[in-house]
Structure 1
Amino acid sequence: MRLVRVEDAIGQVLGYDTTYVGRDGATVLLPRGHVITRDDVEKLKDSGVYFVWVEGNEESSDLMYEWEIAETVARAVAGENTYIKPARQGSAWIMSSVNGVLKVDIHGLTELNLGGNVLLITRQGMSGVVKDELVGIIDVIPLSMRRSEVEELLRYRNLISVVPFRRRKIGIVITGTEIYQGRKRDLYYPVIKARADKYGWEVTFNTVVPDDEDKIMNAVKEAISNGVEAIVITGGMSVDPTDKTPNAIRRLGARVIAYGVPIKPTTMTMIAMLDNTPILAISAGGIYYSDYNAIDIFLPRLMADLIPSREEIAAMGHGGILPNYRPHH
């Protein structure tokens, strides 16, 4: 590579992508490999580019350039159920090859990023992802690095992977005497069904019961006898006299992992295991905050058999005020 003034680059091969940045965003102005023309000179200068890297007659075998580095490191850090997609401007994308839950080795990511030359940027670990979704990006900062420097980075392996969903069949138990009696329309089913459709789960059992412990218990038993692999129970989760759901779950003999989770909204959530069947019981707040709530945080994990511990749930208080939460005065 040689650095030359744009006027002197006419007829030469551009060595890397040049970028246009404007009010409408950033885009590639001229791609690597483009042969620079006289018309390109003004276009480059209008974008603030007065010098460009062009390909030289000889390339040092000791150097790797940003596009090679990005793909090489991405292939090292990408683990199970991911694939690599080359991107522009010294980047490589890591994509999910399945529906599942994203796992990130935060310690390894931090160490890699401390080096400063190559950065791994990911979606939030333990979040649900779908097939062909972007889950990580490798970005290379310098234009080139010595091969030995790049090889040193290849010790960072499998930093990002996706655990596929191992459960697919969901049972939904809607509680509320007012809904059961037809006084009020249920608004929760569509919220849960939207997640099922997104992640490829199937709702195989769905019922509405009044605020009655025995009826809630019977609905859960019926769901399990119908072969569901996880159960979502809605409503009746606080401490009002009519709120019967937590006690019904306990009476079933379920092992309660958490009742009350440190997130806002939907703090009044219970996570429990009834033998091998996870139960997620969530307060009515998930209706009003239907775009993002405890369902999004916990249900993908339960469906991937990544059952959270009490310690993991306790740590969720850091960042637990979700972006869509609006405090009531």
Structure 2
Amino acid sequence: MLKKIRVEDAVGQRLSHDITEIRPGEFKDAAFRKGHTVCDEDICHLQKLGKNHLYLIDLEKDEIHENQAASILANGLAGEGITWVDNPKEGKICLYAEHDGLLVINKANLAAFNMVDEVMCASLHSYTLVKKGQQVAATRAIPLVMKRNPVERAAAIAAQEGGTVSVHVLKDAKVGVIITGNEVFNGLVDDKFAPILKKKITDLRSHITRIELVPDNTELIQQAIETHIQNNCDLILLSGGMSVDPDDVTRKGIRNAGATEMHYGAAALPGAMFMVAYINNIPLLGVPACGLHHKVTVLDLILPRILIGERIGKKELAFIGHGGLCMDCPECTHPHCPFGKGM
């Protein structure tokens, strides 16, 4: 329960909540923290902040203070790879990445959490690459005092399936690369794909074990795949041969190598002819030629998810469509752009 008193009568009372001061363009922070004892010198400052009255709190058994609520909410939201400090500021607690990795948001949980009255959580986009110590989400109870029941209900929703906000470590995968194409194999043109793929792999802290150049020959593509599997590769990337041209036989080579699951086509531009296949749970990614002349393609959206162990199927490739259109900006600023943010 809240009791309102005149600020002039508050001398000697302890503040029941942080009081925020905002100076546009200069400052936003707590001018007075919860627990501060009001003195005569504070009266003018408080009045300048628009505080002609203050609240005294006398909590009922079923009520909870915003700071207590924020702690309960943060505990429910935090999943794997998330850290937070039980020291609410202005009723808010921030969630941080415990280590480098890929941020994953359970969007259904987050929406259900935010449907509970008087609580909120906001996060970065799911599948954002983050660094250790980076803020990835924040939560708070909206009123100063609220009923305990909705707070506990929201926290229970958030805690389902291991928490709503998590950061997963990217695996240091052994990656095999197969460059297909008669023109490259026969030396008619220099291979430009391998250096591009190598940079994408090493930027994500994995490493390439072997690069093979093979012609547009189904049997030789199959053999190259089998060699990488025998060498215990965790992931195989294949470039070229992904279009509908009769000489493009990469997909047939993948099938002949034993693929039991294959998904051809992604709802993304660039990258519509992307392919995901699995042989004995080893993912194979078919990278179309757009990867040669676009800095960022669907591969950049899928590769980090593969490296945290997600299994990518038709549903995942379909859901990329929302936000899957690259704007081909004159100067690419990815990941600070809309591409891939709707997943």
TM superposition shift of 1:294:
1.9
In 2, distance between residues paired with 1:35 and 1:196?
55
Pairs within 5 Å for 1:301-320: 301-317=305-321, 319-320=322-323
In 1, distance between residues paired with 2:4 and 2:293?
57
Note the residue ranges of structure 2 that are not aligned, 5 or more in a row.
330-343
CA RMSD of aligned residues (A): 3.8
Q: Counterpart of 1:89? A: 90
Pairs within 5 Å for 1:292-307: 293-307=297-311
In 2, distance between residues paired with 1:112 and 1:195?
36
Deviations 1:51-87 (A, max 9, x none): 288685x753755333332222110222333322466
TM superposition shift of 1:300:
2.6
Verify the 8 A CA contact 1:238 1:268 in the aligned structure 2: yes
3-state DSSP of counterpart to 1:253: coil
* 2:189 is the alignment partner of 1:186: no
The two structures have a TM-score, normalised by structure 1, of 0.76
Q: 1:78 to 1:53 in 2, by over 3 A?
A: farther
* 2:146 is the alignment partner of 1:145: yes
In 2, distance between residues paired with 1:140 and 1:168?
41
Q: 1:257 to 1:94 in 2, by over 3 A?
A: farther
The percentage of counterpart residues that share the same residue type is 27
Pairs within 5 Å for 1:90-239: 90-98=91-99, 102-125=103-126, 131-156=132-157, 157-158=159-160, 159-160=163-164, 161-162=166-167, 164-165=169-170, 168-180=173-185, 181=187, 183-184=189-190, 186=192, 189-190=195-196, 193-198=199-204, 200-239=205-244
The two structures have a TM-score, normalised by structure 2, of 0.73
Verify the 8 A CA contact 1:264 1:325 in the aligned structure 2: no
Q: 1:240 to 1:39 in 2, by over 3 A?
A: farther
* 2:17 is the alignment partner of 1:18: no
Verify the 8 A CA contact 1:90 1:140 in the aligned structure 2: yes
Q: Counterpart of 1:274? A: 279
Q: 1:134 to 1:13 in 2, by over 3 A?
A: same
Deviates more, 1:59-68 or 1:7-16: 7-16
Q: Paired residue for 2:252, among 238, 247, 254?
A: 247
Number of equivalences = 318
Q: 1:120 to 1:257 in 2, by over 3 A?
A: farther
Verify the 8 A CA contact 2:7 2:54 in the aligned structure 1: no
* 2:73 is the alignment partner of 1:60: no
* 2:324 is the alignment partner of 1:321: yes
Verify the 8 A CA contact 2:269 2:326 in the aligned structure 1: no
Deviations 1:162-182 (A, max 9, x none): 455566222222334555527
TM superposition shift of 1:258:
0.8
Q: Counterpart of 2:332? A: none
TM superposition shift of 1:41:
5.4
TM superposition shift of 1:226:
2.5
Deviations 1:196-250 (A, max 9, x none): 433x323333344444444433332332232210112223321234433223222
Note the residue ranges of structure 1 that are not aligned, 5 or more in a row.
none
Deviates more, 1:264-273 or 1:99-108: 99-108
